[in-house]
Amino acid sequence: MVKEDFDKEKIAESMTVLWEPLTPDQRKYLVDHIKVHLFEKNETIYKQNEQPTYLMCLLKGKIKVYMNGVGGRTQIIRVIEQMGIFSYRAAFVNENYKTSASAFEASTVCMIPINVIRSIIEENNELAVFFIRQLCKMLGEADALTVNLTQKHMRGRLAESLIILKNKYGYEDDGSTLSIYLSREELANMSNMTTSNAIRILSSLASENIIITDGRKIKIIDEHRLCLISENGG
């Protein structure tokens, strides 16, 4: 759903990394072309093999980027934090999306036509350097993910996923409950394992007083030990 009753300039200003390098004319051009979409929980934002048309920024909510692999098995590649910019890599290399994205929960997304971003980049070296840095960061994270998923034991992979979720979304007001509620299947898809194995490992971590589970809520009560499990690979 497209949301019309919003302050486009205020939203553009909130995207600091995109806004600050721009000239006054470029800022006006950006504001004139942005749209804001509201996505419901579990709604698809874009699909694998579709042609990219927008750069997106998550204003509110939580989003997962995933890929459908062999036999229809899903792998969550990364999660997008608030004000995170996504969906532009494929557009920059003129190819269709390799991944899909959907909302973990009701989410508000700012969408900017990719041709608008390209036009500004051609005139603004500082913005071009920003995207180079972002793409290099994504490459480094992808390299780390490859090592984690291929060399760590399942226990280490799930611990790593919990640490990533903590770093991306933080804790609730109690200072220990993850501020995102994932199903066991989603945790399994993020950690490259079956749902039954994710359930078993969560139960094991709970029995060791490292976490507490309550439905989809996960409370980390010994972050240090959880980090050690992730770092040591299980």
Q: What is the pLDDT along the chain (234 residues), one digit of tens a residue?
A: 655 567 889 999 999 999 999 999 999 999 999 999 999 999 999 999 999 999 999 999 999 999 987 777 789 999 999 999 999 999 999 999 999 999 999 999 999 999 999 999 999 999 999 999 999 988 888 888 777 777 889 999 999 999 999 999 999 999 999 999 999 999 999 999 999 999 999 999 999 999 999 999 999 999 999 999 998 866
Amino acid at 69: G
User: How far is it between the farthest Cα atoms of the chain?
Assistant: 59
Report pLDDT for 2: 58
Closest of 100, 101, 74 to residue 191, by C-alpha: 74
Distance, C-alpha 113 to centroid of its chain = 20
Report pLDDT for 149: 75
Q: How far apart are the first and last CA of the chain?
A: 43
Report pLDDT for 142: 83
Helices 154-169 & 195-207 angle (0-180, nearest 10):
80
Report pLDDT for 16: 93
Burial 110-121 (b: 16+ CB within 10 A, else e): bbbebebbeebb
Calpha distance 105→63 (Å, rounded)? 7
Helices 125-151 & 114-123 angle (0-180, nearest 10):
120
Report pLDDT for 225: 95
